[in-house]
Amino acid sequence: MLRVVTYNIHFGKRLIDIISWIDKQTDADIICLQEFPAVHRKTFYRSLPRRWGHRYTQSFIFRKKTYAIVTLFRKKTLRMVKTKILLLGTHPMEKSLMRNPMEKSCLVTTFRSGAKTVTVVNTHLVFLAANRSRYKQIKMITDHLLSYRHPLIITGDFNIVSLRSKNTLMSYMKKLGFVSIAKRLSSYRLSILKYQLDYVFVQRCALASLAIEKVRFSDHYPVIAQVTL
């Protein structure tokens, strides 16, 4: 059983609190972070307990600051085999309105857990775009994974709002061979509105449970998945 956590940390505005929160995640095997402020990368790594390994890729630029995707993994239970940075293209609205020239990317990391192999995709899909652009990025990810023959986990901030589009997303992912738990999770809040932007999908393994942890260090909540390989 793997405990996988995904958490968009809202530009790392409360990074000190988030570091303290990570230190308490004694049961987590993998923690996928999005919107990590790249300027704090070295300090963040030095502050981590030695039990954590880490992978990193730049994700986007906003207000002249660079933000990244970070995948943490417990070295005691997981041995890293390889990491691939998969490029997902740019979007004209993000380039013009956010002044973000950076190509979106995701982290594709393969681990050994005992006798089993598992690949975890940590992603943050395009923000200023229609859903069709996000589905295009999803297809790029799943096309890349076609050659993999072991358990797969795709997680992160999909930026697909659950209020109207969740069933469409679930159906689309199922056609591509990936499933999740269909219950509604309010992983994001905007004033009084609460909906789901953060998902966990699996292939060749099973989701035993899916839940959120209501810590208020971000406009998102961490989503926690128990995965049976």
Out of 27-41, 44-58, 177-191, 211-225, least confident range: 177-191
CA dist 138 and 88 (Å) reads 9
Provide the mean pLDDT of the chain.
93
Span 28-36, average pLDDT? 98
What is the phi/psi pair of residue 48, to 5°? -70, 140
Q: For a pLDDT cut of 70, what percent of the chain falls above it?
A: 97
Cα–Cα distance measured from residue 16 to residue 21, given in angstroms and rounded to the nearest whole number: 9
Residue type, 122: N
Question: pLDDT-derived band of residue 91, with 50, 70 and 90 as boundaries?
Answer: confident
2-228 placed in CATH 3.60.10.10: yes
pLDDT band at 190 (very low <50, low <70, confident <90, very high): confident
pLDDT higher at 62 or 136: 136
- Residue 195 neighbours by CB distance under 10 Å: 18
At 165 the pLDDT is 65
Which of 36-45, 105-114, 128-137 has the weakest average pLDDT?
A: 128-137
Q: Helix, strand, coil shares of the chain as percentages rounded to 5?
A: 25, 45, 30
Closest CA to 163 of 141, 190, 140, 137: 190
Q: Could you read off the pLDDT of 72-89 as tens digits, one per residue?
A: 999 999 999 999 999 998
pLDDT at site 183: 81
Query: What does the pLDDT read at residue 66?
Result: 94
pLDDT tens, 163-188?
Answer: 666 688 999 999 999 999 988 889 99
| Predicted pLDDT at 97 | 66
Question: pLDDT band for position 220 (50/70/90)?
Answer: very high
Q: Is 99 left (phi over 0), alpha (psi -120 to 50) or beta?
A: left
Judged by average pLDDT, the poorest of 25-29, 71-75, 161-165, 200-204 is 161-165
Q: 64 pLDDT band (50/70/90 cuts)?
A: confident
pLDDT at site 161: 82
Backbone phi and psi for residue 73, each to the nearest 5 degrees, phi listed first: -140, 145
pLDDT score recorded for residue 133 = 92
Q: What is the pTM of this model?
A: 0.95
What pLDDT was estimated at residue 163?
63
Query: What's the pLDDT at 129?
Result: 82
pLDDT band at residue 23 under the 50/70/90 scheme: very high
